Amino acid sequence: MFDISTFYRLLQTDWLGRKFWFYRKLESTNRYLHEIPDERLPHGLVCLTDSQLKGKGQFGRVWYSSPEENLTFTIVLRPGTNIRLQLISLAVMLALRETITATVACESVIKWPNDLLISERKVAGLLTECRYNGHNLDRMLLGAGINVNQQTFAPELENKATSIRHHAGGQPLDRALLLAVFLNRLEPLLAMAEAGDIELVRNINRSIQGYGKWVSLLVDGKREDTPVKILGVNEYGYLMVLTANDDVKTFTHEQVRIQTRPD
């Protein structure tokens, strides 16, 4: 079981994760928090379950996670800006990447816009959901799934998924330690994201798969005819690419997928 006392002992944040909800079993942490009234969801709340039965992924996909082996949780944010939400999501991905590097000395890359890969296989994913009251943002739910100690995957995922343990010599990892390290790294990055800090943008860009390379794009599900060069993201977290005609195009994450190699 997740060791809550170890988590609190190692947590060094001012506000992120200080309110912590733990459940042995939930269908989905994102779905559960959607039903909670706003006044009960403080900024910085982290809700974690040891067994997520119907985890949510992008585009209605299911996130599969073995009970008591991984990290499946949601962070509740009420950022002071509505214009850098994509940069906030990317800051979470960067914190995940830095956490893995710090704990197991393993290189990973951000697959635009919400997956983390080790050796071309997914080790973590993020589902960002926002709830509005008119034009005002009520809550931002950042649902993360991190494959920590899982050693076997469903047949359809065997060549697509991996875990941190697989790249740590097969030794089991302390999930409470990993989550505390992640939140400690994330808190300052969130402040940088809200400010549009250029150093954060540079660090994200250096972490994106295909950065500085010519790649193929899928835009709204359709493959573009000519390759583009990935320039990285701007201060709002939108993807910028250079076309063969030297035009710069900007995309939101809903529009585009990057393919760095042929199918």
pLDDT digits (tens, 9 = 90+) for 114-126: 999 999 999 999 9
Residue 140 phi, psi dihedral angles, 5° rounding: -120, 120
Distance CA 98, CA 198 (A): 18
- The domain limits of the chain are 4-207, 214-259
44 — pLDDT class (breaks 50, 70, 90): very high
DSSP labels, 239-256: EEEE-TTS-EEEE-TTTE
Domains 4-207 and 214-259 in one fold: no
What per-residue confidence (pLDDT) applies to 58?
53
Cα–Cα distances in Å, from 149 out to 31, 53, 164, 175, 246? 24, 17, 7, 8, 45
Angstrom distance (rounded) from CA 227 to CA 55? 34
Question: Model confidence over 76-86: pLDDT tens digits?
Answer: 999 887 889 99
Q: Which of 78-82, 102-106, 234-238 has the highest mean pLDDT?
A: 234-238
pLDDT bracket for residue 6 (50, 70, 90): very high
Q: What is the pLDDT of residue 64?
A: 67
Report pLDDT for 261: 60
For tokens 């995309």, the residue is: 251
Q: What is the mean pLDDT of residues 197-210?
A: 97
Per-residue confidence (pLDDT) for residue 59, from 0 to 100: 46
Query: What's 4-207's CATH class?
Result: alpha beta
Give the predicted TM-score (pTM) of the model: 0.92
- Which SS3 state, helix, strand or coil, does residue 75 take? strand
CATH 3.40.720 fits 214-259, yes or no: no
